[in-house]
Amino acid sequence: MLIASIADQIVRGVDAVTDTLSAPFSDPVIRLGVTGVSRAGKTVFITSLVANLMDRGRMPQLVAARDGSIRTAYLQPQPDDTLPRFNYETYLGLLTAPEPAWPEGTRQISELRLSLKVQPRGLLSGFASPRTVHLDIVDYPGEWLLDLGLLDLSYAQWSAAALARAKDRPKGGAFLAQLAGVDPEADLDETQARALAESFTAHLNASREAGYSDCTPGRFLLPGDLAGSPVLTFAPLPTITGAKHTLGREFARRFESYKRHVVKPFFRDHFAKIDRQVVLVDVLGAIHAGPRAVEDLRVAMAAILGAFRPGRNAFLARLFQGRRVEKILFAATKADHLHHAQHGQLTAIAEALLRDAKDRADFAGATTAAMSIAALRATVEDTVTHRDGPLEVVRGRLLETGKQAAFYPGKLPGDPAHLLGPARAGAQAWLDADYAVMNFAPARLDLRPGDGPPHIRLDKAAQFLIGDRL
Ligand SMILES: Nc1nc2c(ncn2[C@@H]2O[C@H](COP(=O)(O)OP(=O)(O)O)[C@@H](O)[C@H]2O)c(=O)[nH]1
Ligand SMILES: [Mg+2]
């Protein structure tokens, strides 16, 4: 341990020296992390952000776009040769086609470099030539961040927590029933191990579908090329004594292996290099799913945001070595599902979730903000007459039928505590309200030259995240 940390420091030290030496000769780089659990809106966010940075007509809240400091923006080969490239052209093509469609879900990390030519501002700016700022955008699943918490847990501790969660979550009963017939002290049987892992994974996936966010190990949901490997073939077990060659002992070993070979490399190779971070959250989706999903979101967000606290555990502290993520934006996505009259309430809920996480985690000087945004606006606003008076709705094309429909998701409370309170108290359903969500298809676009795709507050988000560096 000691030797490892000294070696780490030496490597870091050398890094630091070369950084300073090369700094005057190389262009500044901003590494922007984009995360959120599956379907939170990462792909759409990055696609629209990049399109709107290339065509800046709809970005007035980004100061460098409004005042013309950004001269041009163009895509360049990314710096990391071994990371998949974010498939920007394909996604934009889908979203802007005559029959627009949402991109397929992505389940892995990817990267894209956008380079901006920026005219320096200030006294002598007229004489200076434009400088280049590289924006390296890294898209990675929020599920992977939740795994950070596993580093602090033994297999027995994780098992206890996972079994407790399984009790009243989807397909948890089936897994527990299967477990009842298993003796952890019996010799390892690979067929049984696989069956347990499959049943546990089915339970995690069903929980995720039902709106639960806290479903670890994250790579069970998004296995990529690790599918079927031993590091993903384990499940929680009740108390084990751990004699050699037993199922219990082997699962405990695989759990440790998962931490070492899956969790740590991600944090070391990707997470520790991020300067700015946006965490996307489908708050409306969770509200629709009910109080338990909202409570789970609150806990998961605290865990996700906890990953940005370098003092969180020894492993992270060593990785960051005093470096830190400078800005963290917590964004409630898909705000176009709500008339703007209710955006304030949505932002307040996002703020309350962020505050809760902040109360427990000091982000060591990182600036944080909460916003409600829509990366790609799929609706227009309207007012319809309802038996109780006028109702402020949004109108869009339904994904299932392609038909236009007006939609009212329900009245969000002005005080977020009216939702977060019952959620925390373990309510099963909302008492006095019902919230709906609707799947809208992306709107057909008719873009003027110089305009990017329509959005809500994407420019404000960009100003917060990168505005100070342009
Ligand atoms: N109406 C609306 N829907 C969105 C928006 N962003 C994402 N979505 C929906 O959320 C789904 C998941 O988005 P995606 O970017 O693929 O999520 P990811 O899994 O985090 O990359 C999309 O297929 C859309 O249905 C948005 O700005 N407005
Ligand atoms: Mg994606």
Predicted confidence (pLDDT) at residue 313 exceeds the cutoff of 80: no
**Ligand 1 atom closest to Cα of residue 373:** 27
190-209 vs 155-166: helix crossing angle, rounded to 10: 50
- Residue 197's identity, in one-letter code, is A
- Residue 403's identity, in one-letter code, is K
Predicted confidence (pLDDT) at residue 141 exceeds the cutoff of 80: yes
Q: Answer whether 196's CB lies under 8 Å from 179's CB.
A: yes
Residue 13 burial (10 A CB sphere; 0-12, 13-18, 19+):
exposed
Structure confidence at residue 402 (pLDDT): 87
Q: Pocket of ligand 1, candidates 34, 102, 104, 107: which has the most ligand atoms within 8 Å of its Cβ, to mutate?
A: 102
Predicted confidence (pLDDT) at residue 178 exceeds the cutoff of 70: yes
Structure confidence at residue 154 (pLDDT): 94
Structure confidence at residue 47 (pLDDT): 98
Looking up tokens 């006095």 gives 432
Higher pLDDT, 428 or 388: 428
Structure confidence at residue 360 (pLDDT): 64
Structure confidence at residue 52 (pLDDT): 98
* The Cα angle at residue 394 between residues 392 and 400, in degrees rounded to 5: 145
Which residue's alpha carbon is at the smallest distance from atom 19 of ligand 1? 39
**Ligand that comes closest to the CA of residue 379:** 1
Does 378 sit in the ligand 1 pocket, CB within 6 Å? yes
Buried b or exposed e, range 247-257, using 16+ CB within 10 angstroms:
bbbbbbebbee
Question: In the β-sheet with 367-372, what is the strand arrangement from edge to edge?
Answer: 70-76, 110-118, 131-139, 29-35, 276-281, 327-332, 367-372
Using alpha carbons, list the distances in angstroms from residue 119 to 126, 331, 469: 8, 29, 12
Q: Mind listing the pLDDT tens digit for each residue in 356-415?
A: 877 766 666 788 899 999 999 999 999 988 888 888 999 999 998 889 989 888 889 999
Average pLDDT, the chain: 88
Structure confidence at residue 123 (pLDDT): 63
Predicted confidence (pLDDT) at residue 152 exceeds the cutoff of 60: yes
Q: Mind listing the pLDDT tens digit for each residue in 333-355?
A: 999 999 999 999 999 999 998 88
Higher pLDDT, 304 or 440: 440
Averaged pLDDT for residues 437-449:
89
* Segments of 64-199 assigned E as strands: 70-76, 110-118, 131-139
- Residue 233's identity, in one-letter code, is T
Range list of H helices, 239-335: 247-258, 264-269, 283-289, 291-306, 314-320
Question: In the β-sheet with 379-386, what is the strand arrangement from edge to edge?
Answer: 379-386, 389-397, 404-407
Kindly indicate the confidence band of residue 54, based on its pLDDT and cuts at 50, 70 and 90. Answer: very high
Structure confidence at residue 432 (pLDDT): 75
Averaged pLDDT for residues 318-345:
89
Residue 252 CA to residue 161 CA, distance in Å, equals: 15
Kindly indicate the confidence band of residue 32, based on its pLDDT and cuts at 50, 70 and 90. Answer: very high
pTM of the model: 0.88
Q: Which residues pair with 30 in a beta bridge?
A: 135
**Ligand 1 atom closest to Cα of residue 48:** 27
DSSP assignments along 294-306, one per residue:
HHHHHHHHHHHHH
Ligand 2 center–CA 90 separation, angstroms: 13
Averaged pLDDT for residues 83-111:
92
Residue 163 CA to residue 180 CA, distance in Å, equals: 12
Residue 439 CA to residue 399 CA, distance in Å, equals: 6
